[in-house]
Structure 1
Amino acid sequence: MRRVDVLVVGAGLAGLHTARLLARRDLDVLVIDRRRSPDSGIRTTGIFVRRTLDDFDLPEHLLGPGIRDVLLYPPSRRSPVRLTSDRDEYRVADMPGVYRYARRAAEAAGAEVVPGVRYVGARSGVVTLEGAEPVAARFVVGADGARSHVARDLGLDVNRRFLVGAELVHPIAPGTGGPAFHCVLDPRVAPGYLGWVVDDGRQAHVGVAGNPGAMRAGVRHLLDAFLADGAPGHAPPAGPVERRGGPIPVGGVLRRLACPAGLLVGDAAGAVSPLTAGGLDPCLRLSELAAAVVAGYLRTGDQEVLRRYDGGALRARFRGRLLLRRALAGVRTAAAAEAAVGLLRGRAGRALAARVLFGDGSFPDVRAGLADLAATR
Structure 2
Amino acid sequence: MCGRPVGRAGGPTVEGVLTVDVLVVGAGLAGLETARLLAARDLRVLVVDRRRTLTTGIRTTGIFVRRTLEDFDLPGHLLGPGVRDVVLYPPSRRSPIRLTSDRDEYRVADMAGVYEHARRAAESAGATVLLGTRYDGRSRGLVRLAGAEPVTARFIVGADGARSRVARDLGLDVNRRLLVGAELVHPIASGTTTPAFHCVLDPRVAPGYLGWVIDDGEHAHVGVAGYAHAMRTGVRHLLDEFAADAPGRAAPTGPVERRGGPIPVGGVLRRLACPDGLLVGDAAGAVSPLTAGGLDPCLRMSELAATVAARYLRTGDERVLRGYDGNALRARFRARLALRRAFAGIRSPLAAEAAVAALRGRAGRAMAARVLFGDGSFPDVVPQFAHG
TM-score (norm 2): 0.94
1:47 matches 2:63: yes
What CA deviation, in whole Å up to 9, does each residue of 1:266-288 have, x standing for no partner?
A: 00000011111100000000000
Would you say 1:183 and 2:199 are equivalent positions?
Answer: yes
The residue that corresponds to 1:150 in the other structure is 166
Structure 2 equivalent of residue 71 of structure 1: 87
Q: Secondary structure at the match of 1:317?
A: helix
Unpaired runs of 5+ residues, structure 1, are none
Cα deviation, residue 125, structure 1: 1.9
Residues 180-209 of structure 1 deviation map (CA, whole Å, 9 limit, x = unaligned): 000000011111110000134332100000
Aligned residues: 372
Residue 173 of structure 1 deviates from its aligned partner by 2.1
Which residue is equivalent to 2:155?
139
Name the CA distance, whole Å, in 1 between partners of 2:259 and 2:111. Answer: 11
Gaps of 5+ in 2: 1-16
Aligned residue number for residue 298 of structure 2:
283
Where in structure 2 are the equivalents of 1:265-304 lying within 5 Å?
265-304=280-319
Aligned amino acid, residue 259 of structure 1: C
CA shift at 1:128, angstroms? 1.2
Specify the alignment match of 2:180 in structure 1.
164
Q: Contact 1:5 / 1:139 at 8 angstroms: preserved in 2?
A: yes
Per-residue CA distance 1:300-325 (angstroms, 9 max, x = gap) = 00011001100000011111111111
Aligned counterparts, 1:200-219, within 5 A: 200-219=216-235
Match of 1:109 in 2: 125
- State the Cα deviation string for residues 225-273 of structure 1 (Å, max 9, x = none): 1022x10111232212111001001001000000000000000000011
Letter in 2 for 1:266: G
Are positions 1:227 and 2:227 aligned together?
no
User: Does the 8 Å contact 2:170/2:277 carry over to 1?
Assistant: yes
What secondary structure, in the 3-state scheme, does the structure 2 residue paired with 1:183 have? Answer: strand
Please state how far the C-alpha of 1:376 moved relative to its aligned partner: 5.2
* 4+ residue segments displaced more than 3 Å: none
Q: Does 1:195 align with 2:205?
A: no
Please state how far the C-alpha of 1:131 moved relative to its aligned partner.
Answer: 1.1
* Cα displacement (A) at 1:126: 1.4
Which has the larger displacement, 56-65 or 34-43? 34-43
Give RMSD over aligned pairs: 1.2
1:122 corresponds to which residue?
138
**Native 8 Å contact 2:228 2:234 kept in 1:** no
1:9 and 2:25 aligned = yes
- Shift in Å, 1:120: 1.1
Partner of 2:343: 328
3-state secondary structure, aligned to 1:307:
helix
- Looking at structure 1, the residues matched to 157 and 379 of structure 2 have their Cα atoms a distance apart, in angstroms, of 18
- Match for 1:243: what amino acid? R
Equivalent-residue separation in structure 2 for 1:115 and 1:300 (angstroms): 31
